[in-house]
Structures are given as structure tokens and as C-alpha cells.
A = this chain, B = another copy of it.
């Protein structure tokens, strides 16, 4: 067993600072496990962290990315949660077990892998055993690596902070990782799903995954299209990925008593919308910041029971991180995965 390993690392933010370096293989401390990383999946946030630091107090040298699948190679002293050979996936917010996350009003917590904590673009990681959960048995490692952020966000919005969806209409914006998990989960839960995109091609592919209706938001007013498709009932649950002024459209498109899960910030870090329909419809607007470890375990069980297969747009070799980040810029259909080991 080699005593060195490769990892992506940077000394300061910036795409050009990324270096694939060879370092000593880590050893698991007390309560930790050593995991051989086989696959890592990227989130748009990883790009922002790499390029700007995202305002986070990173520790350098910094290894980016938060989502991985791998195999436990060794357990440190007192670590009993896993044994060598167990397949695991990482937990994005490792200290949030269930209920509410800890934190204060002025400083809400943002303590995540590939952020305040180290990232996973390395051949090996040694982390506390509680930072992992068992991988789904029905997925390969590349697929399994997509659950910690994209899968869990959609699950948390629809299942942990939502309600029964049978016979309800769910509106999903876009075709990124969270959106496609949302589409697949909502269909399995018996909802009608309407999906918006700026690409006819992506709408066709989304229908192949089960979407009942697609709206090209560059070609028509998507709110009016929702009125038409639902005979003016509106959407019972909206996954709001765009953010920004897009909230205003979601507010218009929502049904009486509808729910809007605020998930993304693609169009800006400030949301706005008209207050009258929020009041008259009695809307519930719910912030979703990924989810807790218990929910990841529930998602994993559901994935296995239901046979859900995550949508991977493309897989890249470990050395091709820059190409993978370029792909993120272009907007993938589903997830991008790095084959690590």
C-alpha cells in the first residue's frame, strides 16, 4: 500500500491556483476513518469556492468539493461506525444530525465539507466517522457520490420540509442536479411535474425522465404556462432554484396554500416578490440549506427501495478537473462526476 496519494489543492482562491499534488497519505486519528475516494461529484458552489473563496474562512492548502463515495480502508481508535470494506458517502454538513442545525441568528452555520472543513478531491481522506453514511447498495460509486448535496437538497425540500405529493403539481426550475433529483422524486411520489428550462433539448430529455410538461422559459411566460397547464390551479410546490426576482414569478405561479422551497441563488443573492399574493394565497416560503444526516440515511434507503438512478451528465478523469469546471459553467443536465480512484 503506497504511502503517498494525489489530491487537488490550492494555496489561494482562483481557478489557476488548482494543483494536482502528491502528498503523504493521511492516517485516521481517534474516532476517524480512512476512506479511499472513488468518485466525487461537483456542485456549482464548488466552482464559486474555488474561484472566489465564497467568503469562507478556508484553511490552506485547501482541497475543494464536498460530495464523494468511497470505501473505508481503516478505522482509527474508538471508531466503530464502519469497518474496512464498507462503502460510504460523505455528509455535506457533518455536524447536523437531525432536527434543527445549531447556530445563531447573526452567524447561521455554514460548516461544510469543501468549505470550513476540508474537501474530498483526494485519493484518500481521513475524517471523523460521523462524517459518512453507508452508500446505497443499488448505486455504483459515481451515482452514489451525487447524493450528499443534490440528492439530499431535493429530498429535504420535498419530503422533510414538504407534505404528501400524491395528485399535487410540482414545478421545478431548470435541469441541474437538484432539479433532476426533484423531478425523479416528485414523480415517484405521485405528483404531476412541470419543468422549466431555456433549452428545448433539455426539456425533451426531462420528459424522458418523467416530466409531465416542459416550459421553455425563453419562448413563453412560464407563469402563464403554469396557469394554462393547471387550469389556473397553480403549482402546489415549487422548487425555486433561480432566486433573485424569480421568486416573484414563483409567487404568481403558486396555488392557494402553495409551498415554495427556496434552494438556489443562480440569479442573485437577494430575493424579491409581490406581497399581496403571498398573503392572499397563504403561501409558505421555506428556506432549504441542503439537509441533515438522518435525512441522508432516509434518502439512501429510499433510493435503494425505489431503484432511483441519479442522472449523470458526464464523468471526467481525476486529472481533468478544469474541464469538469468548464462544463459546470455551461450548465450540465444533472450531475458531473470526477472518477477519483
Contact = CB atoms under 8 A, between A and B. Distances in A.
Interface in A100-159: 100-110, 158-159
A256 B104 contact: yes
A54 to B, nearest CB: 10
Q: Give how many copies assemble into the complex.
A: 4
A53 interface: no
Contacts of A158: 164, 166
Interface string A154-178: 0000110111111100000000000
Interface in A287-311: 287-289, 292, 294, 298-299, 301-303, 305-306
Contacts of A272: 270-273
A232 B302 CA distance: 16
B301 A252 contact: no
A276 B271 CA distance: 10
Contact of A256 (B101, B268, B269, B284): B101
Determine the interface band of chain A, counting residues with CB < 8 A from chain B: 35 or more
Contact of A306 (B163, B167, B227, B288): B167
A163 B163 contact: yes
A10 interface: no
Interface string A163-199: 1111100000000000000000100111010000000
Given A100-B282, A280-B289, A282-B287, A302 B252 contact: no
Given A270-B275, A271-B275, A283-B287, 16 more contacts: A100-B282, A105-B252, A105-B255, A105-B256, A106-B227, A106-B252, A108-B276, A158-B164, A189-B189, A189-B190, A270-B274, A279-B287, A280-B289, A281-B287, A282-B289, A284-B287
5 contacts: A110-B280, A164-B165, A167-B298, A284-B284, A284-B287
* 10 cross-chain pairs, A with B, having the tightest CB-CB distances, nearest first: A105-B234, A167-B302, A98-B99, A272-B272, A278-B287, A108-B280, A285-B285, A104-B232, A279-B289, A100-B257
